[in-house]
Amino acid sequence: MPQPPATRPDGARASAPGAGPASPPPADPVIETRGLTKAYRGGQLAVDGLDLVVPRGSVFGFLGPNGCGKTTTIRMLMGLIDATAGSARVLGSPMPAAGRRVLPKVGALIEGPALYGFLSGRDNLRRFDAADPAADPRTRERRVDQALQRVGLAAAAGKKARAYSLGMKQRLGLAAALLQPRELLVLDEPTNGLDPQGMREIRALVRELAADGTTVFLSSHLLDEIEQVCTHAAVMARGRLITQGTVADLSATVLDTRASGRLTVTTPDPADAARVLKEHGVTELQLTDDRVTGDLPGAADGQVPPDLADLNAALVHAGVRVRAFGTERASLEDVFVQLTGEGFDVAG
């Protein structure tokens, strides 16, 4: 039974710090943190002054290399660990104080699935559902069946969970998050261990849930995953939030600084090509074998970007044989590398 999206009389205490910024955050964010900080024993900061705003109805990608503090942040949001400093509000209520009220409306997959190996898939779901005091035992069987079907595990529901493959465990973990209609789904690396087909199914599921109005908070170190399903994204590195906004804006950030993307010319005459391109104001030229890449002059430099067709004509006029010519669109990966100045595999 879908709970109405709890329109709470929002007499919630107006949090004093940082009140009245120039651009107020979108009304009623699903997740909002202020200076959220976690220091582990020894003083090492796992999360450092995080100000995160997740708008309602978004599919929010939480991006960062492994070990950058994503999971620690999620654990703080879910009330599993206490923040050292700062505050977090989930669905408008402070966490972890309001956990009992908030968490039944939140489905979570945190750092991979964890199951009782000696119980069947179905019994695992029964168990997690029984742990929720807001779950109606009368509808339990039906909801468990629906969740199993939704993740495509109905046929394997009677098998002991220890016999499941990693992908099946991941699906069962997702099913546990879908036992009730949720306002917010927190999915930490949901496609880990899945084959490409499984990944596609999960993405389809996320889109479907988002279409139903569920806000999805999706953490991943896979950039294309975020790019494919998310409307918003935040980038985290070494415990700090680097940037956040809509995916389009984030890509545009890079497009702005690089005018209209990076020009790539494939030619058997790279030296000549580079010379001609330089004459036409292309900067940051790089030559690799038969490829020449460079940044087009852009609005950022106060110049009018040249027409690509003219540029190509200039190359041909100068006797440069061109095999391929075009600009590469900036991907989230570019954004990421540019923002963090590092790869996205492991933080040092």
Partner 1 sequence: MSQAELSQAGAAPRSPRPLWSLGLLRSEITMTFRRWRTLALLAVLAGVPVLVGVAVRIETGRGRSGGGGGGEGGPAFISQVTNNGVFLVFTSLAVTLPFFLPMAIGVIAGDSIAGEAHGGTLRYLLVAPAGRTRLLLVKYATTLTFCLVGTLTVALSALATGALLFPLGEVTLLSGTSIPLAEGLLRALAIAGAVALSLVGVAAIGLFLSTLTTSGIAAMATTVGLLITVQILDTLPQLETIQPYLFPHYWLSFADLLRDPVYWDQLAKNFGLQAVYAAVFGTAAWARFTTRDITA
Half-sphere exposure in the Cβ direction for 348 (13 Å, CA):
4
Q: Is 128 in the site for partner 1 (CB under 8 A)?
A: yes
End-to-end Cα, the chain, rounded Å: 47
Q: Is 261 in the site for partner 1 (CB under 8 A)?
A: no
User: Which position among 50, 63, 115, 277 is part of the footprint of partner 1 (CB under 8 A)?
Assistant: 115
Q: Is 1 in the site for partner 1 (CB under 8 A)?
A: no
Helices and strands in the chain: count of H runs, count of E runs:
11, 15
> Is the Cβ–Cβ distance between 289 and 315 less than 8 Å?
no
Q: Which is nearer to partner 1, 180 or 267 (CB)?
A: 180
What contacts 140, CB < 8 A, 6 or more positions away?
A: 126, 129, 130
User: Which position among 75, 143, 182, 232 is part of the footprint of partner 1 (CB under 8 A)?
Assistant: 75
Q: Is 99 in the site for partner 1 (CB under 8 A)?
A: yes
Q: Which is nearer to partner 1, 6 or 130 (CB)?
A: 130
Q: Is 118 in the site for partner 1 (CB under 8 A)?
A: yes
User: Which position among 35, 49, 57, 112 is part of the footprint of partner 1 (CB under 8 A)?
Assistant: 112
The Cα–Cα gap between 335 and 326 comes to: 20
What's the Cα-to-Cα distance from 249 to each of 4, 22, 55, 245, 332, rounded to whole Å? 32, 18, 15, 6, 11
SS3 90: strand
User: Which position among 111, 141, 224, 310 is part of the footprint of partner 1 (CB under 8 A)?
Assistant: 111
Q: Which stretch, 28-36, 123-131, 197-205, 283-291, contacts partner 1 (CB under 8 A)?
A: 123-131
> Is the Cβ–Cβ distance between 172 and 164 less than 8 Å?
yes
The residues of the shown chain that bind partner 1, judged by CB under 8 A, are 75, 78-82, 99-100, 103-104, 106, 108, 110-112, 114-119, 126-138, 173, 176
